[in-house]
Amino acid sequence: MNENRSVFALDGVTGYLIAVVLLLSILAFLTVQAIGAQQNNATTYYKLDENKLVSHSKDNANLYHVVKQ
């Protein structure tokens, strides 16, 4: 029998704690990146300039005028 067992071996509690800390750090990193991306998009949003709209077909131009009225 194997008598050299240890509770704090890498396949025991220590390995579990390393895996949990690693997963939590990845979660924290991705959360910070997502919050940063949302803040950047909230402050630099796109503004539609109706003077620069280009219609590539006549059907699209007619549809735009119908919706605008």
In a domain, 3, yes or no: no
In a domain, 57, yes or no: yes
**Count of structural domains within the chain:** 1
In a domain, 41, yes or no: yes
Residue with tokens 């509690």, as numbered in its chain = 13
pTM, whole model, 2 decimals? 0.54
Tokens of 5: 């067992």
Domain containing 27 equals 13-68
Mean pLDDT of the chain: 78
For residue 38, pLDDT beyond 70: yes
Rounded mean pLDDT of 32-59?
80
Those residues whose C-beta lies under 8 Å from the C-beta of residue 64, and which sit 6 or more positions away, are 53, 55
In a domain, 1, yes or no: no
Under a CB-based contact definition with an 8 Å cutoff, are residues 46 and 40 in contact?
A: no
In a domain, 48, yes or no: yes
pLDDT at 60: 63
Under a CB-based contact definition with an 8 Å cutoff, are residues 12 and 6 in contact?
A: yes
